[in-house]
Structure 1
Amino acid sequence: MAVSNNIIATINFIALICSIPIIFTGIWLASKPDNQCIRSLPWPIIFLGVLFLLLALTGFIGAHWNNQGLLSFYLFCNAALIVTGIILLILAFIVTHPSGAYSVPGREYDEYRYMGYSEWLREHITDPENWRSIKACLASSSICSKMVRDSYTAPQFFNARISSLQSGCCKPPTVCGYQYVNPITWINPTNPIGDVDCIIWNNDPNQLCYNCDSCKAGVLGNLRKEWKEANVILIVAIVALIFLYLIAFNAYKNSQAGPKK
């Protein structure tokens, strides 16, 4: 029994240490400039890391003090967390699979189509109430203004790798035919087309294309990219939980069986 408990305690001590990078990954995502206006992504990762830490701590304490009730609770929670993680992973892949990104001739950066993203993302991230706060945050941030500080010429800008937020929110869509002055200042075309975003665009730094569907698409494009990265963390966490569960369950079963006579 002592050997089995030592195995459970050891692997959960390792898991305890491994949970710290997951928590810090969530904090890192929250601190990235592209995510400062969208707070819905980092918290699930931080929450997962905290659950991982608490679970590992429970297993370590239960094994170290040979508390069979705590070990049983640990195994139950571990199994429940594995199932929950798999469900979340499947849902995340379904929600983030459609992409509204499309290439534009003569441009290194992509542009983004709002209707190209999943209905769930469109409804839950860019609904009117959420979008008001996201739009206000974008307008007060340096996401667009910092492009002006880079002093792009037109060819340099068209060949730059700008983010989805900058592509969708800081400039008019290429199809509108606006003439480049600087990344956030464009001259109206002589014969503008009927695209709604082309009419909405405004050179006012507080407005730009923050009211455009292309800006919403840029936000969703950024969110999709970050979720794809977060899915990798989730996959690693689930594999680790399954590994921990199998070892801990086998050790727990051996400890329950007791020494052979």
Structure 2
Amino acid sequence: MAFRLSNNLVGILNAITFLLSVPVLGVGIWLGARADGTECERYLSAPVIAIGVFLMVVSLAGLVGSCCRVNCLLWFYLFAMFVLIVVLFAFTVFAFVVTNKGAGEAVSDRGYKEYRLGDYSNWLQKRVENNKNWNKIRKCLQDSKVCKKLQEDKWTQDQFFHADLSPLESGCCKPPTSCNYIYVGGTSWTPVNTNSTDPDCRNWTNDGTALCYGCQSCKAGVVATLKRDWKRVAVVNVVFLVFIVIVYSVGCCAFRNNRRDNRNSGYRGGSKGGYA
């Protein structure tokens, strides 16, 4: 019996997915094997490798199961797809919930915003306030040199105050505005006596490897960046979920076709055997 359209479509989609999994797996292995890789890259290598292996195994199961009509492999493929749909749906809802609170605060006569950790969801706050987590994040920030641009730019005070800084640059590369420190240049500031109760005023240092990486404002900048990125990922996930549900539905049709073909083949075989 000729293959059904759904079987062919599942086979084509999984062949494409398999080809895409190869570079994903390669990137993960490359990130983990780099001798001069940063802490961020080594931290990312494990999940990237896991995603690559998952895509490769599932796409192979779908490809062989649909094209060769192997029901057990197609059943495994549909089960894995169902789990993926549930996980993506749960993560999307979770991402929208935990990123619902918090925003940067505009500062008078400044082009940048400042960020306070207490403005964000408790779940995100706890993640960065955990010392073990923060030590990894801090090492990642230092390795990626998030303040390098500010250190190299030769800005005047007026140019710096009206610059459009990212949340990480605003939180980690300068002291809070409430400290009233005097801008010297780059990431250098002259401390002054201040009545500010902000503990970040004491944590700030002109040391280029430390700056405000131990400040609450830096943690808030990280959370603000996560919030922005997670919202983008959540929006993409909604589109991806629709696509995955469509593919899952086509896979169910292919599975049903396989079972029908197997039953028909068995029935014809049994009829022939009966008339032999």
- TM category (shorter chain) comes to 0.7 to 0.9
Q: 1:113 matched to which residue of 2? A: 116
Q: CA deviation at 1:174?
A: 1.1
Distance in structure 2 (CA, Å) of the matches to 1:232 and 1:41: 22
- Cα drift, residue 123 of structure 1: 1.5
Q: 1:116/1:12 Cα in 2 relative to 1: closer, same or farther (>3 Å)?
A: same
Question: Aligned with 2:3: secondary structure?
Answer: helix
Distance 2:107 2:45 in 1: 31
1:11 is matched with which residue: 3, 10, 13? 13
Match of 2:82 in 1: 79
Q: Is the CA contact (8 Å cut-off) linking 1:41 and 1:223 kept in structure 2?
A: no
Question: What does 1:152-167 align with in structure 2 at a 5 Å threshold?
Answer: 152-167=155-170
TM-fit CA distance, 1:163: 1.9
Superposition TM-score, scaled by structure 1 size: 0.82
For the 8 Å contact 2:69–2:258, the answer to whether it is kept is: no
Change (3 A) 1:24 1:40: same
Q: 1:99 deviation in Å?
A: 2.1
When normalised by structure 2's length, the TM-score is: 0.78
Query: What amino acid is aligned across from residue 11 of structure 1 in structure 2?
Result: L
Instruction: Note if 1:202 corresponds to 2:205.
Output: yes
Q: In structure 2, do the counterparts of structure 1 residues 222 and 230 end up closer, same or farther at CA, with 3 Å as the change threshold?
A: same
| Residue 90, structure 1, aligned to residue 93, structure 2 | yes
1:159 positional shift: 2.2
- Name the CA distance, whole Å, in 1 between partners of 2:77 and 2:57: 10
Matching of residues 110-189 of structure 1 within 5 Å: 110-139=113-142, 141-189=144-192
1:98/1:24 CA distance change after superposition, 3 Å: farther
Aligned letter for 2:229? E
Measure how far apart 1:246 and its partner are: 0.8
CA distance in 2, matches of 1:168, 1:14: 42
Identical amino acids, percent of aligned pairs: 38
List gaps (5 residues or longer) in structure 1.
none
- Which region of structure 1 is more displaced relative to structure 2, 120-129 or 7-16? 7-16
Q: Conserved in 2, the CA contact under 8 Å of 1:41 and 1:227?
A: no
The range that moved more, 184-193 or 136-145, is 136-145
CA RMSD of aligned residues (A): 3.4
> Which of 69, 92, 98 is the equivalent residue of 2:72?
69
Cα offset for 1:177?
1.5
Cα distance change, pair 41–239 in 1 and its aligned pair in 2 (3 A)? farther
Provide, for residues 26-84 of structure 1, a one-character-per-residue CA deviation record: whole Å limited to 9, x for no partner: 99xx9xxxx96597778656644543443222101112222111112211221121112
Matches within 5 A, 1:28-67: 37=40, 47-48=50-51, 50-67=53-70
TM-aligned CA distance change 1:2 to 1:71, over 3 Å? farther
8 Å Cα contact 1:111/1:164 also seen in 2: yes
Distance 2:100 2:75 in 1: 38
| Inter-partner Cα distance in structure 2 for 1:113 and 1:38 | 27
Q: CA deviation at 1:127?
A: 0.6
Give the Å deviation of 1:180: 1.3
| 70-79 or 17-26, which deviates more | 17-26
* Structure 2 residue aligned with 1:213: 216
User: Does structure 2 conserve the Cα–Cα contact (< 8 Å) formed by 1:103 and 1:110?
Assistant: yes
Structure 2 CA distance, aligned partners of 1:115 and 1:21? 40
Aligned length: 258
SS of 1:85's equivalent?
helix
Measured in 2, the distance between the counterparts of 1:59 and 1:7 equals 11
| Alpha-carbon distance, 1:151 to partner | 1.0
Gaps of 5+ in 2: 33-37, 269-276
State the secondary structure of the residue aligned to 1:210: coil
Alignment partners' CA distance in 1, 2:104 and 2:93: 22
Amino acid at match of 2:14: N
For residue 249 of structure 1, report the CA deviation from its aligned partner.
0.9
The alpha-carbon deviation at position 219 of structure 1 amounts to 1.5
Q: Which amino acid aligns with 1:184?
A: T
Match of 2:196 in 1: 193
